[in-house]
Amino acid sequence: MADVIGPNSYLPGRRLKPLLGVMCDEHPTVLSVTRVVGETDSYGSEINDLCQECVDLMDEQIKETSSGNCDWCKNHSPELVKHRDYEEGSTGPVYDVCAACISKENDCIAENYASDLNQDSSSDLDDDQDNEILDFDDSDIRQDDD
């Protein structure tokens, strides 16, 4: 029986070390060789315990079903990958995304990062000007005589 774990950053298909003595979810008389992250959402993930036969079958199915329409651009792609939008956090929804969309997202992140760096360095210069040390002696301080 599949296990369920709480919120995490795992993507579907990730393989985890098997638990000792745990049997395959599909073949209860065979020891599992790996745990595979299944359906994932912001509430957590299903974890499937699989024997080698089930792992081989899963690998074949993945090869057959990795193409389709991208969830972001809606274009058909021969290869989609499971991906999260970084703005939605590490436990946000999982999308099937094409390489072109991931590349665009990475370019946008790089541009924003470079822009932030430029803003930080220019604000550092402004801070230096604001923190200029003023030289004066005690005679410059006005003292009121009562």
pLDDT tens-place string over residues 118-146:
877 666 555 555 555 555 555 555 555 54
Whole-number Å distance between alpha carbons of 49 and 25 = 6
Residues 24 and 60 both lie in one domain: yes
Q: Which domain holds residue 17?
A: 1-65
In a domain, 145, yes or no: no
Total domain count, the chain: 2
In a domain, 61, yes or no: yes
In a domain, 55, yes or no: yes
Residues 48 and 74 both lie in one domain: no
Residues 45 and 15 both lie in one domain: yes
pLDDT tens-place string over residues 22-42:
999 999 999 999 999 998 888
Which whole-number Å values give the CA distances from 21 to 11, 26, 33, 61, 89, in the listed order? 25, 15, 10, 27, 34
- Global confidence as pTM: 0.57
Residues 70 and 109 both lie in one domain: yes
Q: Which two tokens stand for residue 76?
A: 């058909």
In a domain, 146, yes or no: no
3-state helix, strand, coil in the chain (%, to 5): 35, 25, 40
